[in-house]
Amino acid sequence: MPPLTSLLPWLVLAMVAFTPPARATVLDLEREGEGYQREFDYFKLALQWPGTYCRRTRRCCSSNACCRGSNAPTVFTIHGLWPDYNDGTWPACCSGSSFDPKEISTLTSALEQYWPSLSCGSPSTCHGGKGSFWAHEVFKHGTCSYPVVRNEYDYFLTVLNVYFKYNVTRVLNDAGYVPSNTEKYPLGGIISAIENAFHTTPVVACSKDSIEELYLCFYKDFKPRSCAVGSDIKIDMVTSKGSCPKYVSLPEHVSAVSVRYVWKPLKILLNFLGKSETVDLRHKHLSAEEDAHGKWVWDYHRHHRCLVNVSRHVILLRSQKHIQKFKVECFKIAKYT
């Protein structure tokens, strides 16, 4: 019997036939009065690449999928499904409804895998509130998806179905565009692979030369269509042909969780040195060449920092002690990892 994780997309798709009657408790819009905005024109499916997002992780928490170690996501994950207008603007926060996790309890497993938060903290849920990543998306965007989406359950199930049907990760992998920390791929080739598969041009957003987000747009019946150019400008993203360099990367996930395991020995060492206030703990990805040199690298060109390789992360530790003594302490830290 195949593992449950491989069956998740099919289980979610199969649930369409058993979708319960529309509930009027969460996403039904008030057609009159405060909160009403004109009906949207099309949908934008926003996907995020974990390998790029997780490079910015500076702390771990239970809600941050970047901190799952080997179980962290390695495919494009869902950011949200956003209703947009053809003029480049979009509706937001169309109803003051509440978010009830129990309404989507049957979808939680799939949502945690394919729609995880890639950060810590509580994003805004409209009207001054704070909540989970899912609450933020359903409040800000889901409530404006009427009449296509009518309630909380319908919103999340609809997004999952569209995500599985238009599987960007699978299309790119089949075309040879796989996660790598060394390879650079032609942006035009990535766009063409998606165009050939889905008959629509994606919008791609980058952080430097790394793909960060990718957008697919749909009519209200979820047939592919082009995104309105104005919408990309409004959210500080330019078109797919201008937002990224000609060659881009799909960086592999670099786990943030490993840094926690060296904090205790680091703290002990710093207390011994009497310089605990000089610690500067942050992430820096090591190149393959640096990895090959072993557990630690001494670098005289970066203010005498001790670089300790910790599962593709390094600890940057500054010290005002004598350089030679600190070099010895670097080796002691490396022995803990």
The C-alpha atoms of residue 268 and residue 275 are separated, in whole angstroms, by 11
Q: Three-state DSSP class for 107?
A: helix
The C-alpha atoms of residue 104 and residue 109 are separated, in whole angstroms, by 10
Backbone angles phi, psi at 22, to 5 degrees: -60, 130
The C-alpha atoms of residue 67 and residue 156 are separated, in whole angstroms, by 24
The C-alpha atoms of residue 321 and residue 319 are separated, in whole angstroms, by 5
Region of residue 58 (phi > 0: left; psi between -120 and 50: alpha; otherwise: beta):
alpha
Query: Mind telling me the catalytic residues?
Result: 79, 137, 141
What sign for the dihedral angle of Cα 180, 184, 187, 191?
Answer: negative
The C-alpha atoms of residue 29 and residue 112 are separated, in whole angstroms, by 27
The C-alpha atoms of residue 205 and residue 186 are separated, in whole angstroms, by 14
